[in-house]
Amino acid sequence: SVNPDIASERQTASFSVEKLTARLDGGAEQTRMRRAVVEAIECDPEFSRENQYFQSQNERYEAAVRKATHLQKKMREMGWTEDGPEYKYIYRALSGDVAFLLHRIFMRSISVLGSDEQIAKWIPLASQYRLIGSYAQTELGHGTYLQGLETTAVFDSSTQEFILNTPKISAMKWWPGDMGRSATHTVAFAQLYIHGKCYGVHPFIVQIRSLQDHSLCPGITAGDIGPKMNFEHSDNGYLMLQNVRVPRENMLSKFCEVQPDGTYVRRGSQQINYFTMTTVRISLISDEVITPLMKACTIAIRYSVVRRQSKLKPGEQEAKILDYQTQQEKLLPQLAAVYAFHFINDYLQELFNRAYREIQRKNFDTLPELHASSSGFKALVSQHCTSGVEICLRACGGHGYSLLSGLPSLYTKIIASCIYEGENTILLLQTARFLIKCFMAASSGQPVPPSVTYLAAVKPGKCPAKNKLDFLSPDIYTEAFEHTAARLISSTAAELQDLVQSGVKKHDAWNRCTVQLAQAAKAHCHYITVKNFAETVERLETEAGIQKIMKHLCDLFALHGIFSNAGIFLHDGYLSGAQMDMVTASYLDLLAVIRKDAVPLVDAFDFTDKCLNSALGSYDGHVYQRLYEWAQKSPTNTQRSPAYERYLKPLLHNTLSKL
Amino acid sequence: SVNPDIASERQTASFSVEKLTARLDGGAEQTRMRRAVVEAIECDPEFSRENQYFQSQNERYEAAVRKATHLQKKMREMGWTEDGPEYKYIYRALSGDVAFLLHRIFMRSISVLGSDEQIAKWIPLASQYRLIGSYAQTELGHGTYLQGLETTAVFDSSTQEFILNTPKISAMKWWPGDMGRSATHTVAFAQLYIHGKCYGVHPFIVQIRSLQDHSLCPGITAGDIGPKMNFEHSDNGYLMLQNVRVPRENMLSKFCEVQPDGTYVRRGSQQINYFTMTTVRISLISDEVITPLMKACTIAIRYSVVRRQSKLKPGEQEAKILDYQTQQEKLLPQLAAVYAFHFINDYLQELFNRAYREIQRKNFDTLPELHASSSGFKALVSQHCTSGVEICLRACGGHGYSLLSGLPSLYTKIIASCIYEGENTILLLQTARFLIKCFMAASSGQPVPPSVTYLAAVKPGKCPAKNKLDFLSPDIYTEAFEHTAARLISSTAAELQDLVQSGVKKHDAWNRCTVQLAQAAKAHCHYITVKNFAETVERLETEAGIQKIMKHLCDLFALHGIFSNAGIFLHDGYLSGAQMDMVTASYLDLLAVIRKDAVPLVDAFDFTDKCLNSALGSYDGHVYQRLYEWAQKSPTNTQRSPAYERYLKPLLHNTLSKL
């Protein structure tokens, strides 16, 4: 039986949920495949996440390893492969709560950075799990600034080996997943030294544990870095290296090589060593950032139509909390953002595929744009989705704060995405550097990539909108975003130039403009996201009501963006105060429109109850029963605490010593 | 030995840290007392929080009970009392990680709402811990809307008892601290029925567990609500009541009473029943909201001067991350906000003391302003401090994400303050209701409380600032905040009126303006905070550099507020775009000024290393060593996982069945 308060929401959907699901999946065939994978995973009790919220870090780790090994068996049974189309659905069905994810990065590094011989040697071993790999880049003392890594790899031509060392405590590798307790091998990044000369950071395959008995290899100190805000399932580790020798063949050498006599040969850009990070950065946007916000929206919106609190009209029944404007204003912009980001992810994916084809041909020209885009969007989307999940959590009040709602763990996990694979502020500044360069190039008439041609024609102007309905025109709001992004980039470029011309050193000038540079980079990415959403809506089939509701969401995403960043649109008078009032009015009107389809819009994400793992977000809306049933299974109820006999009884019986 | 990178920060302090500490404490004598309490607590191993980040919910609960019982003994030894001046320091030293906090609320409820006889009967029992109390208000189905509580208390005149029931699952009490496993008694809020007529929500003392063997009393179902985002130490509980009878004398009856024949007598405002919530709301601002942000600032700022990453100037040593403008822009506004909120807390405390004196004399006139202020500031300050802690966490990169940094648990705890004791949006709307009323009154020339007299004279205007230095004048920025708050309140009032005049029902009109109403309430509280900070700075002694640095912080708080809410200041042209550029310039200049004193400014909070419990935030700045040492103590390193023998070995040895 379904709670009538949620059932009624589904009867009035303005569009076909099934068709929208297919659109999100990339076609009905994809939807079918996804459901088959999810079904196969979820009906297998080995993959159950039922007790997850009650488990310790040790229990979570063990379960993750158990699932990862069981998954090997399952994949063989089902005929799924690591690089097959099913993998992303497997990952989604497991909610990433599985070990050996870094083993995949280990393999990807070798595939991208290794020579043909290295690939031929290591990939089969890794695919068959004859070893367990990891990826050791970050150190205690260095994260974002890779050039500063302190681990060294000194070439010894007499033995044809590299000697690896972490010469001080800050050089210790810190954070690599799968490394604290599981991995036998890792790709370690170290400063390459040949005959006393440093050639910068390079990747080396290093064995850290015995394949026989899993004991640490000579010269290796390794362990687990301890408790974290989330990722309890992952054995993020530390690693010290003391005179650890690896053969010359263990330096990944597709793009550069050390020859037997110590001659260093480069076959491509030094940048390519960071390419694994770029690929990871792009793939995480969908799996680790957008999907969690989709889940949070599903949970919070379903809860908000079964939770009734207070009265909208005196004498009436208490109202569904989603009928309050303030609740709509919290949740519906998040819903719109999820769709916006889903489509920008498609855009990025395409950009990546194009660039990757070029790189395979050793053409690195597209790397700067790819790097700038992947950096900027990773920062924008992870920041936005993290705060979106937090808003969803808080919008569910006390129940959102219970782990059983699923929202706290979504939050504590997604917040890490603002930090890992490039800290967001650093990433935005890398995007800004690209934008400033493009702006200078465009200003002097040089060619720039298509996504930034708009910088060539920055001019003052006014928004032509005359009433609130005008703001439902994608041309109107897209131009407002374009104008504002261009203005922020050009004015920051001007300020940089002014500072330099007034005698400030270039790097000082840069540092003094970084707050504004980061803001400009964000505005650029925001603009591209709005533009891409509007263009996507135009291309959608008009049938089944999908284009119409997506148009509403696109409008909401854009107007919420203007409403909540009003300052940058008003600053130069592009929008007037009166126009901002129109934006606000249209924005608030849209909330009431989209509210009607809110439940169907989250249903379209098609998460099963097991996948959501939330007492608040189930499809049937029976929230209170589920909270009560789940709470009873908590160890705080099933395990008796010694606290009563030891402390409470003596206290109450007044027999506590000296009392 | 102290890390030279942090030692150097202390040599250049522009003010006396010790004098500022005394100012924050309220005098040198208070500082001395605080340090004595902290010393006594911290040298006692029973109160150690050393293993906190490694403990399960059950272990945390047991430790909290152990500490609470030990504390009774300690207090007796030390001559401290529950309502003595030391208590707040005890709480601070324990970081609230102790049981029986709701026992205190239980006692406070009885003191405030009980008759003299009830106080005489229950308070001694509770003080001596002959019972353990709790406070049962929130239900599964009702939190903010107290009128909707579903628990019933029916008066049975034949036995002179009340019969309490939770008639459906949503009526179950849910969340009360100390109730899941510890409490023997609770103050339960229920709808009072006499002869079939409902008299609204009233508080009743109910015994739930035996004083002899702690078994649940007849008709009682109770337990723990399970895992939460934090508060693992607290046994937040659930409670079902089935025909539980309590004597007539158990209804707290200072302000209303049921006489033996069922006559209902009221002696004060119905509102007074919620007064306990108001007192809790005010006291939590300092203990649960401001203190955690002080800790987060201390940790993040100390870390930011010992963490070096990347280079500001080519060829130089890597720079302290606090030397980057973007890092300053994250942390220093939080530091300024902490000081602003410390001073607004003094203001609120004074408002409360005045109101409380009146209430004792049964004069309830000040309740509306007190309720509006406590609501609005609780919302503003908890929201701001929560996002401040999150910013501090993220500003420490990966290391901030480790539980060992202390930042994740500060965050997961403080975020609850946005929800409990009144959900923030609801609270802001209550403040807004008060403001709209005052605006209407003021507009028609009626008297209003002093804090809102500014609403009487809303007029258009322009900021007179001519250059960036003008924005360092408190008059200039305070007026900008005042103008903006008044504009938002008056324009929302006008919109409400327009809607009603156009035929929209009053409650509909209200709901359609709530987004703007909440924004207006926030602007009002923001304005009062800026004004109060500026006035406080003026009153400070000029000696020892304290007034000067506080003036900088006040400027920063104000200009950061304008910079990050630019839209509302630009909207009606009160500030022009050119003036906003001046604000930005002054704001960014201030960051560089305050950066120099950043470490002394957090040192002044005077947290011991044990109190911070952070591998990143220690006074001596030895971050990496501490992270490594602490990680080695983690159960993930000290307990062997069965995962290797069970899963990894068969996988690596290729003996997993069917593989």
Does residue B455 belong to any structural domain of this protein? yes
Residues A580, B571: C-beta atoms closer than 8 Å: yes
Per the CB < 8 A criterion, the answer to whether A493 and A525 are in contact is: no
Please indicate whether residue B232 is annotated as part of the active site.
no
Using CB atoms, which residue from B172, B324, B515 is nearest to A628? B172
Distance CA B353, CA B356 (A): 5
- Residues B257, B284, single domain; the answer is no
Of B53, B131, B627, the CB nearest to A140: B627
> CA of A320: which chain B residue's CA is closest?
B141
Residues 232-261 of B with CB under 8 A from A: 235, 238
β-pairing, B135-136 with B197-207? Answer: unpaired
Chain A residues within 8 A of B175 when measuring between CB atoms: 398
Same domain, residue pair B317 and B462:
yes
State whether residue B45 sits within 8 Å of chain A by CB.
no
pLDDT of amino acid A271: 67
Residue A607 phi, psi (nearest 5): -85, 135
B-chain residues within 8 Å CB-CB of A642?
A: 62
A390 and A535 in a single domain? The answer is yes
As a whole number, mean pLDDT of residues A183-202 equals 97
Q: How large is the average pLDDT for residues A607-618?
A: 98
Q: Please, which pLDDT band fits residue B466 given cuts at 50, 70 and 90?
A: very high
Residues B296 and B323 in one domain: yes
Nearest to A107 by CA among A120, A88, A126: A126
Query: Where does a domain end: A214, A234, A267?
Result: A267
- Structure confidence at residue B659 as a pLDDT band (50, 70, 90): very low
Residue A586: per-residue pLDDT: 98
Virtual CA dihedral for B396, B401, B406, B409, nearest 10 degrees?
130
Chain A nearest C-alpha distance from B63 (Å)? 8
Question: How many angstroms separate the CA of residue A73 from the nearest CA in chain B?
Answer: 6
- A53–B contact, CB cutoff 8 A: yes
For chains A and B, CB pairs below 8 A equal: 380
Residues 167 through 226 of chain A touching chain B, CB cutoff 8 Å: 169-170, 172, 174-175, 180-182, 184, 211, 214, 223-226
Q: State mean pLDDT over A319-339.
A: 98
Q: Which of B139, B421, B479, B482 is catalytic?
A: B421
For residue A194, what are the β-bridge partners? A197
For chain B, positions 435-494, list CB contacts with chain A under 8 A: none
Q: Which pLDDT belongs to residue A659?
A: 39
| Closest chain A residue to B580, measured at CA | A571
- Please tell me whether residues B537 and B428 are part of one structural domain: yes
Q: What is the three-class DSSP state of B621?
A: coil
The reply to whether A263 and A308 lie within a common domain is no
How much is the pLDDT for B194?
A: 98
Round to whole Å and give the CA distance between A220 and A136. Answer: 13
- Report yes or no: A437 and A520 within 8 Å, Cβ to Cβ: no
Classify residue B337: in a domain, yes or no: yes
Q: What is the mean pLDDT of residues A375-379?
A: 98
- The pLDDT score that the predictor gives to residue B361 is 86
d(CA B338, CA A551): 43
Q: Are A652 and A428 in contact (CB under 8 A)?
A: no
Is the alpha carbon torsion for B529, B534, B535, B539 positive or negative?
Answer: positive
**pLDDT tens-digit readout, A53-82:** 999 999 999 999 999 999 999 999 999 988
Q: Does B269 touch chain A (CB under 8 A)?
A: no
Residues 90-129 of B with CB under 8 A from A: 128-129
A-chain residues near B430 (CB < 8 A)? none
- pLDDT of the residue at A460: 82
Indicate yes or no: CB of A624 within 8 angstroms of CB of B132.
Answer: no
Given A86, A139, A369, A421, which residue is catalytic? A421
What's the confidence (pLDDT) of residue B299?
Answer: 98
Q: Are residues B346 and B286 in the same domain?
A: yes
Mean pLDDT to the nearest integer, A24-52: 97
In a domain, A331, yes or no: yes
Per-residue model confidence (pLDDT) at position A61? 97
- Gap from A651 CA to chain B (nearest CA, Å): 7
Range of the domain at B192: 130-267
CA distance A614 to A602: 15
Q: Which of B228, B418, B641 is facing A403, going by the closest CB pair?
A: B228
pLDDT of A276 strictly over 80? no
The reply to whether B567 and B487 lie within a common domain is yes
pLDDT of residue B457: 80
Please tell me the distance from the alpha carbon of residue B528 to that of residue B561, in angstroms, as a whole number. Answer: 13
Task: List the single best residue of A570, A613, A632 to mutate versus B (max B Cβ within 10 A).
Answer: A570
Interface test with A, best of B46, B75, B98, B229 (most A CBs within 10 A): B229
User: Which of A62, A312, A658 lies closest to B641 in CB terms?
Assistant: A62
Average of pLDDT values for A124-153? 95
- In this prediction, residues B448-453 reach a mean pLDDT of 92
Pair (B211, B284) in one structural domain: no
Three-state SS letters, B200-235: EEEEEEEECECCCCCCECCCEEEEECCCECCCCCCC
pLDDT at A658: 42
Residue B284 and residue B226 share a domain = no
Find the range with the poorest average confidence among A605-609, B340-344, B451-455, B593-597.
B451-455
pLDDT, position A5:
98
Please check whether residue B99 is in contact with residue B92, taking contact to mean a CB–CB distance below 8 angstroms: no
- Amino acid B658: pLDDT: 42
**Mean of the pLDDT values across residues B408-429?**
96
Average pLDDT over residues A99-114: 93
Q: Mark which of A246, A267, A288 sits at the end of a domain.
A: A267
A408 and A362 in a common domain: yes
- Confidence (pTM): 0.97
B307-342 pLDDT tens trace? 999 999 989 999 999 999 999 999 999 999 999 999
The alpha-carbon gap from A525 to the nearest alpha carbon of chain B, in Å, equals 19
Beta-carbon contacts of B229 under 8 Å, excluding residues fewer than 6 positions away, are A401, A402, A403, A408, A412, B412, B415, B416
- What mean pLDDT is predicted for residues A362-386? 93
- What's residue B654's pLDDT? 81
Does A654 have pLDDT greater than 90?
no
Calculate the CA B27 to chain-centre distance.
Answer: 24
- A404 touching B (Cβ < 8 Å): yes
Tell whether B390 is covered by a domain.
yes
Determine, yes or no, domain membership for A303.
yes
Least confident range from A418-422, B570-574, B580-584: namely A418-422
Percent of chain B with pLDDT over 70: 98
Does A84 contact chain B (CB < 8 Å)?
no
The CATH number for A413's domain is 1.20.140.10
Query: Does residue A118 belong to any structural domain of this protein?
Result: no
- What residues contact A386, with CB distance under 8 A and at least 6 apart? A289, A411, A414, A415, A417, A418
> Each residue of B62-91: pLDDT tens digit?
999 999 999 999 999 999 998 899 999 999
Percent of chain B with pLDDT strictly greater than 90: 90
Query: pLDDT tens across A553-601, in order?
Result: 999 999 999 999 999 999 999 999 999 999 999 999 999 999 999 999 9
Q: How far is B611 from chain A (nearest CA, A)?
A: 19
Chain B residues with CB under 8 Å of A569 CB are 567
List all residues 6 or more positions away from B115 whose beta carbon is below 8 Å from its beta carbon: B252, B253, B254, B257
Residue A651 forms part of a structural domain: no
Q: Return residues 137-166 of B near A (CB < 8 Å).
A: 138, 140-145, 148
pLDDT at B626 over 50: yes
Mean pLDDT computed over every residue of chain B:
95
Percentage above 70 pLDDT, chain A: 98
DSSP A421: T
- Provide the domain count of chain A: 2
Lowest-pLDDT choice from A228-242, A455-469, A600-614: A455-469
- Of B29, B9, B6, B22, nearest to B544 (Cα)? B22
Chain A, residues 508-567, CB within 8 A of chain B, namely 508, 511-516, 518, 565-567
C-beta atoms of A394 and B412 within 8 A? no
From the list B72, B140, B224, which residue is nearest A656 (CB)? B72
Q: By three-state DSSP, how is residue A170 classified?
A: helix
A300 touches B: beta carbon within 8 Å: no
For A606, phi then psi, to 5°, come to 60, 45
pLDDT higher than threshold 50 for residue B551: yes
Residues of the binding site of A for FAD: 138, 177
Minimum Cα–Cα distance from B581: chain A residue: A571
Task: Please check whether residue B630 touches A, CB under 8 A.
Answer: yes
**Does residue B177 have a known ligand-binding role?**
yes
Which residue, B258, B256, B264, is CA-closest to B162? B258
Rg of chain B, C-alpha, whole Å: 27
Instruction: Tell me the chain B residues in contact with residue A656 when contact means C-beta distances shorter than 8 Å.
Output: 69, 72-73
Band of pLDDT at residue A273, cut at 50, 70 and 90: low
Gap from B364 CA to chain A (nearest CA, Å)? 25
| Residue B96 marked as a ligand binder | no
* Yes or no, beta carbons of A182 and B648 under 8 Å apart: yes
For chain A, the 3-state helix, strand and coil shares in percent, each to the nearest 5, are: 60, 10, 30
Tens of pLDDT along B150-185?
Answer: 999 999 999 999 999 999 999 999 999 999 999 999
Q: If you average pLDDT over every residue of chain A, what do you get?
A: 95
Q: What is the pLDDT of residues B88-143, one digit of tens each?
A: 999 999 999 999 999 999 999 999 899 999 999 999 999 999 999 999 999 999 99
CB contacts of B656 in chain A (<8 Å) are 69, 72-73
DSSP per-residue string spanning B79-144: T--TTSTTHHHHHHHHTT--S-HHHHHHHHHHHHHS-HHHHHHHHHHHHTTSS---EE--BSS-SS
Residue-wise pLDDT for B2-23, tens only, equals 999 999 999 999 999 999 999 9
Tell me which residue in A143, A182, A572 faces B397 most closely, judged by beta carbons.
A143
Phi-psi region of B163 (alpha: psi -120 to 50; beta: other; left: phi over 0): beta
CATH code of the domain in which B143 resides: 2.40.110.10
Domain assignment present for A644: no
Contact A140 B658 (CB under 8 A): no
The residue that leads in pLDDT, A283 or A277, is A283
* Segment B216-250, tens digit of pLDDT: 999 999 999 999 999 999 999 999 999 999 999 99
Task: Between A160 and B254, name the one with better pLDDT.
Answer: A160
B425 at the A interface (CB within 8 A)? yes
Residues A490-538: pLDDT tens digits? Answer: 999 999 999 999 999 999 999 999 999 999 999 999 999 999 999 999 9
What Å distances lie between residue B446 and A237, B236, B449, B493, B520, CA to CA? 67, 46, 10, 17, 21
Which domain-ending residue is among B207, B236, B267?
A: B267
User: Which pLDDT score is estimated for B273?
Assistant: 62
A192 and A302 co-located in one domain: no
Task: Give the per-residue pLDDT at B144.
Answer: 86
